[in-house]
């Protein structure tokens, strides 16, 4: 800093007002010309310098507290993109240094920032949040983080990336019921056909029950009106899992339901439902899902729909039951 010491004389004050700023000491007045306003605004704040120093020194508790303060200040001042960069960076650093509680808390700050400030759902952001999810151990904070991220993604096509990451995570941890919940929320049938077999194997689904497992997945897609995903998943899973063996009556019935949905033909659905009803009744969840397909895709109401008493493994009872409402429902004959 360059300082010019000047005497306290009246004639010099106008020059000071025009040319620079004044810094007062107890006995002297100083003229400061070392830093322009734009330079001062772009300089790192003391808070950021403390944060970087704390991280570099391994003082993770102090760094976490500083991040809380920065999160509050930057949110209030609208510095959202700067805050995003800090949270992504240091959530990763904390989690990689086994600072689980602190790292998850910072990750949740990021998820709330995205959700509450309506950040656009972009591939690089989805990639970042998935990487954070992958290094989180099982804990309640991880569930909070995941649910907030999915709320932010909403109906975006990129939400499938988050669900896929969750399927892989829970499958590796052998939480198959949780993996199944995310599997049936995928919108890409190819991805589903790749991610489903490890769940089937992990749950030790018997060969004679494999057609039920495939049907539950495909019918869940149909009930959510994801017809293209249902079709693709069915074709690939039958090809890879059933191979050259003859299709069971159940799989034939599911295949025909897919075709009826593609044609949007309620009469075909009703006929298929009646013909293959014995196969659909092999498991109560199957029967209920067929009814939900009729309601969501064809606007038909199944009056025989009853609560499930299925004794299938937990995996098969953990599926999400899409239940879209319709104003003009018809009744099955």
Mean pLDDT of 178-201: 96
Q: pLDDT value at position 222?
A: 97
Which of 127-131, 213-217, 222-226, 321-325 has the weakest average pLDDT? 321-325
Q: What is the pLDDT of residues 104-140, one digit of tens each?
A: 999 999 999 999 999 999 999 999 999 999 999 999 9
Confidence of residue 270 (pLDDT cuts 50, 70, 90): very high
The answer to whether 28 and 51 have CB atoms below 8 angstroms apart is no
Confidence of residue 318 (pLDDT cuts 50, 70, 90): very low
Q: pLDDT value at position 36?
A: 39
Q: Percent of the chain having pLDDT more than 70?
A: 77
- For 301, the 3-state DSSP assignment is strand
The answer to whether 314 and 176 have CB atoms below 8 angstroms apart is yes
As a whole number of angstroms, the distance between CA 172 and CA 202 comes to: 9
Average pLDDT, the chain: 83
Q: pLDDT value at position 137?
A: 95
Distances (CA, A) of 105 to 59, 82, 109, 111, 136: 16, 18, 6, 10, 11
Q: pLDDT value at position 301?
A: 84
Please, what sign has the CA dihedral across residues 5, 7, 10, 12?
A: negative
As a whole number of angstroms, the distance between CA 139 and CA 101 comes to: 9
As a whole number of angstroms, the distance between CA 310 and CA 323 comes to: 19
Mean pLDDT of 236-245: 82
More confident residue, 189 or 246: 189
Q: pLDDT value at position 49?
A: 94
Using the 8-state DSSP alphabet, how is residue 327 labeled?
S
As a whole number of angstroms, the distance between CA 23 and CA 106 comes to: 40
Distances (CA, A) of 4 to 17, 33, 121, 229: 14, 8, 53, 74
Helices 100-116 and 60-77, packing angle to 10 deg: 10
The alpha helices in the chain, defined as continuous H runs, are 13-19, 37-42, 46-56, 60-77, 80-96, 100-116, 123-134, 140-153, 159-172, 176-183, 189-202, 210-223, 227-237, 249-263, 266-275, 277-280, 284-298, 314-317
Q: Percent of the chain having pLDDT more than 90?
A: 73
Q: pLDDT value at position 208?
A: 87
Q: What is the pLDDT of residues 31-45, one digit of tens each?
A: 333 333 443 344 458
Which of 95-104, 163-172, 294-303 has the weakest average pLDDT? 294-303
More confident residue, 208 or 297: 297
- Residue 168 pLDDT exceeds 70: yes
As a whole number of angstroms, the distance between CA 252 and CA 289 comes to: 16
Global pTM value = 0.77
- Residue 333 pLDDT exceeds 50: no
As a whole number of angstroms, the distance between CA 139 and CA 162 comes to: 18
């Amino acid at each position: 800093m360059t300082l010019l010491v000047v005497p306290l004389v009246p004639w010099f004050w106008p020059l000071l007002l025009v040319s620079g700023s004044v810094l007062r000491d107890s006995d002297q007045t100083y003229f400061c010309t070392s830093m322009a306003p734009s330079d001062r605004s772009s300089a790192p704040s003391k808070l950021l310098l403390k944060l970087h120093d704390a991280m570099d020194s391994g003082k993770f508790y102090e760094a976490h507290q500083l991040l809380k303060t920065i999160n509050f200040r930057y949110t209030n001042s609208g510095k959202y993109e700067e805050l995003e960069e800090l949270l992504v960076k240091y959530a990763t650093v904390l989690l990689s240094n086994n600072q689980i509680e602190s790292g998850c808390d910072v990750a949740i700050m990021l998820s709330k920032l995205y959700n509450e400030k309506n950040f656009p759902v972009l591939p690089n952001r989805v990639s970042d949040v998935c990487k954070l999810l992958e290094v989180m151990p099982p804990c309640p904070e991880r569930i909070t983080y995941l649910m907030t991220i999915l709320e932010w993604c909403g109906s975006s096509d990129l939400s499938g990336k988050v669900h896929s990451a969750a399927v892989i995570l829970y499958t590796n941890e052998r939480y198959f019921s949780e993996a199944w919940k995310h599997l049936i929320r995928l919108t890409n049938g190819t991805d589903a056909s790749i991610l489903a077999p490890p769940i089937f194997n992990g749950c030790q689904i018997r060969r004679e029950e494999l057609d039920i497992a495939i049907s539950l997945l495909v019918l869940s897609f149909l009930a959510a009106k994801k017809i293209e995903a249902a079709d693709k998943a069915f074709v690939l899973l039958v090809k890879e899992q059933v191979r050259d063996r003859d299709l069971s009556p159940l799989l034939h019935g599911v295949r025909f339901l897919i075709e009826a949905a593609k044609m949007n033909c309620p009469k075909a659905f009703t006929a298929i439902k009646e013909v293959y009803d014995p196969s659909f009744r092999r498991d109560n969840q199957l029967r209920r899902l067929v009814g939900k397909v009729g309601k969501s895709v064809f606007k038909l109401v199944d009056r025989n729909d009853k609560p499930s008493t299925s004794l299938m493994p937990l995996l098969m009872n953990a599926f999400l039951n899409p239940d879209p409402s319709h104003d003009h429902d018809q009744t099955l004959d």
